[in-house]
Structure 1
Amino acid sequence: MKKIILALVVVASVLTACKGEKKEKVETEKAKVVDINVADLDNVNITESVLNWKGTKPGGAHNGTVSIQKGGLLLNNGTLVGGQFTFDMNSIKNLDMAGEEGAAKIEGHLKAADFFDVATYPTSKFVITKVAKENGKLLVTGNLQIKDVTKSITIPAMISTEGGITTFKSETFNINRADFNVKYGSKSFFDNLKDKFIDDLIEMSFEVKTKA
């Protein structure tokens, strides 16, 4: 009996800890000046590059991808100097329900006017403005544009080159969609949503590879 009680206490402690765990979001600032223009640089292999996303709500989560439409990485002797990536918002895919009718519904909802409004804003963009190194990792600052809002964020990332192909990969980071005027089901914009809200924080990561 004591063992059962002890086990229940342990489970309860774990559940309480998980419930209290908060996601850390990247801080947003006013968009920075872009010193190096790489808009015309097109050396990213778009078929091998991808943006991953995950959204959560009470009792569930969905994850998927967004394709990179065009991108460029500027390197100086293997050191990242700058870059720009354009994301095709019409390519939003839901993966956890792939092949099911629900996936198409989720994708349609994310593309709709009350979410990312891809008919009006078909692309998003990330433009690198600064690269620093700290404890063996890159801290990459860039202007992230979603819809009609552009904010500066800093994310941890890594870069490597093998066989003439450079891979630029971020760690997982969280953005607050409310900072980019994405309103649907957000407690930042609506009251009395009860358990019908969608978390403001969207988990993201990306992997970008250059052409051979």
Structure 2
Amino acid sequence: MKNSIKNIAAVVIVALIAFSFKTINEVKKEIKVENSKIVWKGYKVTGSHEGLISIKSGNLEFNEDKLTGGAFVIDMSTIISTDLEGEYKGKLEGHLKSDDFFGVEKFPTATLIFTKVKATSKNSYEVKGDLTIKGKTETVLFNLSVYGNKANASLKIDRTKFDVRYGSTSFFDDLKDKAIYDEFDLVADLEF
């Protein structure tokens, strides 16, 4: 009986030590939102538009300096155009915030949660994540690079998967030069 208690105690101690050392190497690094940015670019038959959108909060998770996870909340109400000025800038921004596009009154945030991270080289990773826009969640794949306290990623998003259908030839006929392509780009430059 004494040997059983000693054996159990020894196993518990070894387990505690093993788990203690494992968690020391796991670090969650908060994104410095004031020094980070996301650039968006949308395409239409007659050209394109681009702008910025702000990160509300976010973090990247590391284990021994290797990326293992991450999560972001995007403030959809901050979407702006950087390629227009004056009246047209205001009209585009208002339209992007309307129910035709991102419906920011009802859906003020979008989220991205990493579900799988695979190293592809020393500083590069292939990331699989759950992206939620307008209450709809879809899996996305993208590459992310980390250098020191900075990271960058590029994503191509099919807006129709998130019920953003305005001007989409996938849903509407005879749009001609009013058509807006389904995919848009996001480029994130992050500091943590």
Same fold (TM over 0.5): yes
* Structure having the larger proportion of residues in strand: 2
Q: Which residue of 2 aligns with 1:131?
A: 117
**Aligned equivalent of 1:192, options 153, 156, 174:** 174
* Distance (whole Å) between structure 2 residues aligned to residue 124 and residue 50 of structure 1: 15
* Distance (whole Å) between structure 1 residues aligned to residue 57 and residue 125 of structure 2: 22
- For 1:46-65, list aligned pairs within 5 A: 46-65=33-52
1:110 and 2:96 matched: yes
1:90 and 2:77 matched: yes
Structure 1 residue 135, shift from structure 2 partner: 4.7
Q: Quick one: percent identity of the two aligned structures?
A: 37
Structure 1 unaligned spans of 5+: 1-40
* Structure having the larger proportion of residues in helix: 2
**Aligned equivalent of 2:138, options 151, 155, 163:** 151
Q: Moved runs in structure 1, 4+ residues, more than 4 A?
A: none
Structure 1 residue 148, shift from structure 2 partner: 1.6
Whichever of the two has the greater Rg, that structure is: 2
Backbone CA RMSD of aligned residues: 1.5
**Residues 175-207 of structure 1, C-alpha deviations (whole Å, 9 max, x = no match):** 111111101111111122122111111011112
**Residues 33-59 of structure 1, C-alpha deviations (whole Å, 9 max, x = no match):** xxxxxxxx6721111111111011122
Q: TM-score, normalised by structure 1?
A: 0.73
* Distance (whole Å) between structure 1 residues aligned to residue 163 and residue 99 of structure 2: 11
Instruction: Assess if the C-alpha contact under 8 Å between 1:42 and 1:70 holds in 2.
Output: no
Q: Which residue of 1 aligns with 2:188?
A: 206
Structure 2 unaligned spans of 5+: 1-27
**AA matched with 2:50:** N
1:168 and 2:151 matched: yes
